Amino acid sequence: VIFFFFYEAQAFFLVIKGWVSIAKESQNAEQSVLHVFKDGESFAEPAAIVLGHYPASAYAASECELLEIKVSSLKKMIQEDPDIAMRMIARLSSQLNILINEFDQYKTMIVPRRLAIFLLDIFKHNPERQSFDLPFNKTVLAAYLGIQPGTLSRAFNQLTEYGVKTNRSGHIVFEDIEQLQKYADNAI
């Protein structure tokens, strides 16, 4: 656990390596994953800078390395160099644009293609390996893709046609990476 819902927010975080899920629990203790952050992405800035508390909980979805940025340190740095604030605003605006574009793209893209793109992105980080374990469980993956877990299972079944094999534990094997890439690129 990185932080819990409604804890005082004195810092935000940058994911150096790994995956972090942001989740909220319902009244009947069911957890809903709201978003997943990966390498190079930051999270909890609005909570730390504006709200003063975390509106959800954050969990390491995989082994991860984080950089914690204290708001007090950030304020001091901004006083010394006001350009930092402008660079942060620009970066946050860029991140918001990316999220909006991804949302628009995902809304119109069929689920198996979304899954194929995700798997290929992981493959690009380790192109010498034809198999790997998902960086987090399938429930978190479904939330990351914006779908229900049952839909994720059906999408994995459809990707067998393009050389993707998986098991219940989340071990993935690429039998035909070129075929999967063509499918993801919408070439077939």
Give the tens place of pLDDT for each residue, 57-84: 999 999 999 999 999 999 999 999 999 9
Predicted confidence (pLDDT) at residue 98 exceeds the cutoff of 70: yes
Tokens of 29: 């203790």
The better pLDDT of the pair 169, 154 is held by 154
pTM assigned to the model? 0.77
- Which DSSP string do the residues of 13-82 spell out, in sequence order? EEEEESEEEEEEE-TTS-EEEEEEEETT-EE-HHIIIIISB-SSEEEESSS-EEEEEEHHHHHHHHHH-T
Phi, psi of 83 (to 5 degrees): -60, -25
Q: Which pLDDT score, from 0 to 100, does residue 108 have? A: 80
| Residue 34: per-residue pLDDT | 87
Looking at residue 187, its pLDDT comes to: 65
Per-residue pLDDT tens digits for 126-166: 788 889 999 899 989 998 888 888 999 999 999 999 999 99
Q: What backbone phi and psi angles, to 5 degrees, belong to 86?
A: -65, -40
